[in-house]
Amino acid sequence: MALLVIAEHANSELKAATLNVVTAAKEIGGEIHVLVAGSNAKPAAEAAAKVAGVSKVLLADAPIYEHRLAEDLAALVVKLAPGYSHVLAPATTSGKNFLPRVAALLDVAQISDISAVVSPDTFVRPIYAGNALATVQSKDATKIITVRGTGFAAADATGGSAGIETIEAAPSSGLSTFVSQELSKSERPELTSARVIISGGRGMQNGENFKLLEEVADKLGAAVGASRAAVDAGFVPNDYQVGQTGKIVAPELYVAVGISGAIQHLAGMKDSKVIVAINKDEEAPIFQIADYGVVGDLFKLVPELSAELDKVK
């Protein structure tokens, strides 16, 4: 039986998180179909059709899917699910929102946030903020899975030539309506797909000081992140948060500035390839996992880092 991947997209474009899910689907094995449910979402469907390994794209194009409200999207996926062995979505705020609803309506368990595939019915998922890894087996007829992006490489966005099949929308539930959104606008890469991330914590003292990090970020082509403490203090918006309950990232380089390293923060970034920590407290737990630690005042060291980067570029 085929596998169904639910695309993460913004109607006009396919989101990178979809590509990691396609890779997880490939590891499970079987024909891969991608559902693009959106409004005027043909561009996203066309992008999905080009992803290497995808054999069919289902496009449900209707105004009710513009914001992919959980109630309506789940109803559509439930209708499609009987034809598939596995239904997968990224473990993003969108995937986490609608997929448990699908699982409950099908009366099956959801396997959340898998980081590895052992076999078509057995998966590894982190528990306790990633401080333990559970290998779990599902006996349910349909496996409903969210995929942790950092566990799987991105599939090639090009090379595929899948057909696009238009499908009917499911009736709207009428339970919820979209009101508004305030999305952070940034020219920098998205946190979850950035090659380099520089994050600030409570030690930044205020939001204004994040400009220091932004300057370095722009020299490295990096995204800017934050610890929960910095978000709770109102220095930066919630979508900056890296950690157990925020975004899970694994860039090539993660620079933690003024972050002490609570286990909840480490949970979100400890799989980064190289970790740099800048902190004035040499006992800070972040140093225990950092590949390179610099002890000192960040307000002196970060401008120095910025200047030093100019020299090597």
Partner 1 sequence: MKVLVAVKRVVDYNVKIRVKADKTGVETANVKFSMNPFDEIAVEQAVRLKEAGTATEVVVVSIGPAQAQETIRTALAMGADRGIHVQTDAEVQPLAVAKLLKAIVANENPTLVIVGKQAIDDDCSQTGQMLAALLGWSQGTFASKVDLKDGTVAVTREVDGGLETVDLKLPAIVTTDLRLNEPRYASLPNIMKAKKKPIDATTAEALGVDIASRLITLKVEEPAKRQGGKKVGSIAELVDKLKNEARVI
Rule CB under 8 A: which of 128-187 touch partner 1? 128-140, 173-184
Q: Which residues in 241-260 contact partner 1 (CB under 8 A)?
A: 244-245, 247, 252-253
Min dist. Cβ of residue 161 to partner 1 (A): 29
* Residue with Cβ nearer partner 1 (49 or 143): 143
Q: Which residues in 197-216 contact partner 1 (CB under 8 A)?
A: none
Near partner 1 by CB under 8 A: residue from 11, 209, 260, 264: 264
Min dist. Cβ of residue 103 to partner 1 (A): 7
Near partner 1 by CB under 8 A: residue from 11, 23, 85, 110: 110
Does 312 contact partner 1 by CB under 8 A?
yes
Min dist. Cβ of residue 164 to partner 1 (A): 26
Is residue 2 a contact partner of residue 85, using CB atoms and an 8 Å limit? yes
Please give the DSSP secondary-structure letter assigned to residue 203: G
* Residue with Cβ nearer partner 1 (87 or 301): 301
Is residue 270 a contact partner of residue 289, using CB atoms and an 8 Å limit? yes
Does 119 contact partner 1 by CB under 8 A?
no
For residue 102, the tally of other CB atoms under 10 A from its CB is: 24
Is residue 198 a contact partner of residue 257, using CB atoms and an 8 Å limit? yes
Min dist. Cβ of residue 155 to partner 1 (A): 20
As to burial, measured by CB atoms within 10 angstroms (0-12 exposed, 13-18 middle, 19+ buried), residue 87 is buried
Stretch that binds partner 1, among 31-39, 50-58, 81-89, 286-294 (CB under 8 A): 286-294
Is residue 302 a contact partner of residue 217, using CB atoms and an 8 Å limit? no
Please list, in sequence order, all residues whose beta carbon lies within 8 angstroms of the beta carbon of residue 93, skipping any fewer than 6 positions away. none
* Residue with Cβ nearer partner 1 (162 or 194): 194
Q: With b meaning 16 or more CB within 10 Å and e meaning fewer, what string describes 186-201?
A: eebbebbbbebbbbbb
